[in-house]
Amino acid sequence: AQSVTQLGSHVSVSEGALVLLRCNYSSSVPPYLFWYVQYPNQGLQLLLKYTTGATLVKGINGFEAEFKKSETSFHLTKPSAHMSDAAEYFCAAHSGNTPLVFGKGTRLSVIA
Amino acid sequence: GAVVSQHPSWVICKSGTSVKIECRSLDFQATTMFWYRQFPKQSLMLMATSNEGSKATYEQGVEKDKFLINHASLTLSTLTVTSAHPEDSSFYICSAPGPNGYEQYFGPGTRLTVT
């Protein structure tokens, strides 16, 4: 069964600092991997996805993630945090036409 | 891109009443849709898989008689919360696999408050 682990329920960074949100997956087959952002009282917004091909994936708002099969990881990064990046971030995975399995989420705080 | 809508976006109902939430794929057909529930400060948890033309598949611990799912057409799935109680208050989100088969498209969610 698919599972997704997000290390750190809360990450706090200074404005302008590097953002690193960690995600590991457990799967017997390489999954499709996603990062979503959720602002308070809103739905999910897709940041980026990995399906096949290039392992470094660029998304919206300056975010990117690298699929590392050997580490079963899909960590999300952004070189320079902005106040507007403060939100809840979810890593998710599935292996085909199946429901997404979500990590528990990481709340990102950005300090001025 | 593929768009999924939900209606209503928020609803307040009294304890003991039923509430219906609609999930529509606007520009593509979806033989399968997924219903998730999200409690405050928690992640999304899959409730059930809605299948057009057949019965829904419920996750363990989800009462199928309380959360009625009907996949009426290739673009519409409905979730009815029957005899709602305050503990059913939550954010309900639907999704549907898009035409490419790997990306899922989420509705904007429905905030249910049971008083």
Q: Chain A closest CA to B53's CA: distance in Å?
A: 17
Q: Chain B closest CA to A11's CA: distance in Å?
A: 15
Interface of B with A in 10-49 (CB under 8 A): 32, 34, 42-46, 49
Please name the residue that has the structure tokens 């953002």: A19
Residues 6+ apart with CB under 8 A from B34: A99, A100, B46, B48, B49, B50, B94, B95, B96, B104
Interface of B with A in 51-90 (CB under 8 A): none
Per-residue pLDDT for B101 more than 80? no
Per-residue pLDDT for B45 more than 80? yes
- Which tens digit of pLDDT belongs to each residue from A27-70? 767 789 999 999 988 889 999 999 888 899 999 999 999 999 99
Contact B57, B49 (CB under 8 A): yes
pLDDT score of B1: 73
pLDDT score of A97: 67
- Which tens digit of pLDDT belongs to each residue from B48-96? 999 998 999 999 999 999 999 999 899 999 999 999 999 999 999 999 9
Rounded CA separation A61/A83 (Å): 12
pLDDT score of B82: 97
One-character DSSP codes across A6-22: EE-SEEEEETTS-EEEE
For residues A68-84, give the mean pLDDT.
Answer: 96
Of all residues in chain A, the percent with pLDDT exceeding 70 is: 96
pLDDT score of B20: 98
- Which tens digit of pLDDT belongs to each residue from A15-28? 999 999 999 999 76
- CB-neighbour burial class of residue B50 (10 A; exposed 0-12, middle 13-18, buried 19+): buried
**B contacts of A90 (beta carbons < 8 Å):** 43-44
- Which tens digit of pLDDT belongs to each residue from B7-33? 999 999 999 999 999 999 999 999 999
Per-residue pLDDT for B100 more than 90? no
Contact A12, A21 (CB under 8 A): no
Q: Chain B closest CA to A85's CA: distance in Å?
A: 17
CB contact under 8 A, A41 and B32: no
Q: CB contact, 8 Å: B104 with chain A?
A: yes
